[in-house]
Amino acid sequence: MSRLFRGAYIVWIALRYGMDELLLTSLDRHWLRVVARIVSVGRNLEAPRGQRMREALERLGPIFVKFGQVLSTRRDLLPQDIADEFARLQDRVPPFSPDVAVASIERAFGRPVSEIFSSFEREPVASASIAQVHFATLKGRDGQERDVAVKVLRPDMLPVIEKDLSLMRMLAGWVESLSADARRLKPREVVAEFDKYLHDELDLVREASSAAQLRRNMEGLNLVMIPEMIWDYCQSDVIVMERMKGVPVNQIERLRAAGVDIPKLARDGVTIFFTQVFRDGFFHADMHPGNIQISLAPDTFGRYIALDFGIVGTLTEFDKEYLAQNFAAFFRRDYKRVAELHIESGWVPASTRVDEMEAAIRSVCEPYFDRPLKEISLGMVLMRLFQASRRFDVEIQPQLVLLKKTLLNVEGLGRQLDPDLDLWHTAKPFLETWMMEQMGPQKLINELKDQAPRYAKLLPDLPRLLHDYLKQNPADNRRELEQLIAEQRRTNRLLQGLIYGGIGFALGLIAMQVILRVRLF
């Protein structure tokens, strides 16, 4: 019953804010518009449509605000007025009371705010769907003060999210029961993934640990800065971190006036994303402009500043390998290999004809090569691939939904910074590096290093194990020992062959790398 009430409320809000005007204008059904007006008696449509849509999403709660944030990064898909209003959802959602924020901080740390901070700005600097941020100056134990940002979770978030997730689960079940094609999309699994991400985002300690992991991963790249978490002041509903100072990435004219190389900034953004995905398998998955700033400080000029790590994505080694090989084959325009990879992964039935799937992928991807980003829409490519996938019963992989959403965010960000960005050319070095690591001698060396501790522990026990074995039955053992000696001789000959073969194999790998560098890209 609560789900039905929630569904009715969503419909009422949509009507109240005139969202039906956008949905029904293309339908020649006058009676539908009349019914909508009757149901929402007293509504006022004087405000601009973008403002009304943004306010409707804010009224509906965090899940809908998240949806608006994703759309806000795709200005190529939205009218200008709606895109401008949705951009406000990134960090300008109406804040909750500063008194509530202060009470949450004092409850979390068991002390008055005045004992923790020498100054605390009651007006939040940013307010989003899940939490809001206040600037403060932290008192140090050694007398040193430090500028910090205090992130406070919105109160009573869990019940609101649970209601919407319950409704989404119900709708997903209905969708699966209505269509076999819908079952291929795995809507319930996708909702389960969304459920997990949202609940993770409600635990700020988890966010802090994700930030710490990304900070370690990005050390040495010198392209992105991630705030340090102050662990003495991190709780599930309040975290304190290093204050970062930068300019929002979507303020392009301000960045250009400060002397930032905007095309390089776009390339660096792609570099950061692909490094996190293919090298680390651990990536920032909420990369809308409200969470990305650019440093103008002299010693870090032009570097990205990443904020808000409530949603991070992870990839298994299998997923990384599958994706990297697909991208590599795609960049080589080897559509046959792309089709083979789908079959090998089990994402399409084994009976699928490779040549037919190859032709379908070629028809989707070939028109987009050698074009700048302003002439490419990854959203359109993914949509066409999705349409083609229906013919071959491709199963949607829920664990990759977050990656696809982030990839669309990255494309939208890159499009705003530099429409002439060559996304494919920028991504190639990462795939080349990945291929070398997976196929080259370094991979073998790394595997040996990983196994070395295990063998080092086992080798000292071998003489004792052999002695215990020989003591069991001398007569039988003599026969077995003779067999063992004969087997050892054969093993020695085999070992010699393996050594020579290994040398040949290593030379072959070196030759393969040379060929790959010449032909792969």
Write out pLDDT tens, residues 11-70. 777 777 777 665 544 445 555 555 555 555 556 677 788 888 888 887 777 777 777 766
One DSSP character per residue, 284-348 reads E---SGGGEEE--SGGGTT-EEE---SSEEE--HHHHHHHHHHHHHHHTT-HHHHHHHHHHTTSS
- HSE toward the beta carbon, residue 174, CA cutoff 13 A: 6
Give the pair of three-digit tokens for residue 170. Answer: 């119900």
Extents of the domains making up the chain: 2-89, 158-198, 247-439, 441-519
Tell me what pLDDT residue 323 has. 74
Give the CA distances from residue 130 to residues 149, 161, 195, 239, 346, in Å, rounded to whole numbers and listed in that order.
16, 10, 14, 13, 37
Euclidean distance between CA atoms 39 and 25, whole angstroms: 17
Pairing of strands 224-225, 304-306: parallel
Which of these ranges, 61-75, 126-140, 147-161, 264-278, has the smallest mean pLDDT?
A: 61-75
- Is 70 exceeded by the pLDDT of residue 365? yes
Question: Mean of the per-residue pLDDT values for the chain?
Answer: 75
User: In the chain, what percentage of residues exceed pLDDT 90?
Assistant: 21
Q: Which candidate in 91, 237, 268, 286 is catalytic?
A: 286
Q: Do 239 and 206 meet the contact criterion of CB atoms below 8 Å apart?
A: no
Model confidence at 86, pLDDT cuts 50, 70, 90, reads confident
Amino acid found at 299 = D
For the cut 60, the answer to whether the pLDDT of residue 477 exceeds it is: no
User: 161-172 pLDDT, tens per residue?
Assistant: 777 777 777 767
Least confident of 13-17, 179-183, 410-414, 506-510: 506-510
Asked if residue 207 has pLDDT above 80, the reply is yes
List, in sequence order, every residue forming a beta bridge with 146; answer none if it has no partner.
Answer: 138
The larger pLDDT score, comparing residue 340 to residue 398, is at 340
Q: Which two tokens stand for residue 79?
A: 């009218």
Over the stretch 273-301, which tens digit does the pLDDT of each residue have?
888 888 888 989 887 777 899 999 999 99
Q: How confident is the model at residue 348 (pLDDT cuts 50, 70, 90)?
A: confident
The pLDDT tens digits of the residues spanning 419-436 come to 777 766 777 676 667 666
* DSSP strand pairing (247-248 vs 292-294): antiparallel
Integer Cα distance of 202 and 180 in angstroms: 34
Could you write out the DSSP letters of every residue in 158-173?
HHHHHHHHHHHHHHHH
The pLDDT value recorded for residue 435 is 65
Give residue 507's pLDDT: 46
Q: Where are the alpha helices (DSSP H) in 17-142?
A: 19-24, 30-39, 49-60, 62-72, 80-87, 98-109, 113-116
Q: Rounded to 5 degrees, what angle do the CA atoms 348, 352, 356 make?
A: 115
Supply the pLDDT for residue 472.
66
Q: At 335, is the pLDDT very low, low, confident or very high (cuts 50, 70, 90)? A: confident
Residue 500 pLDDT: 47
pLDDT of residue 229: 96
Residue 93 contacts residue 58 (beta carbons within 8 Å): yes
pLDDT band for 475, please (50, 70, 90 cuts). Answer: low
142, HSE (Cβ side, Cα atoms, 13 Å)? 2
**pLDDT value for 498:** 44
What is the model's pLDDT at position 503?
A: 45
Kindly state the DSSP code that residue 396 receives in the 8-state scheme. Answer: P
Is 261 among the catalytic positions? Answer: no
Q: Give the residue, 324 or 487, on which the prediction is more confident.
A: 324
Rounded CA separation 324/47 (Å) = 47
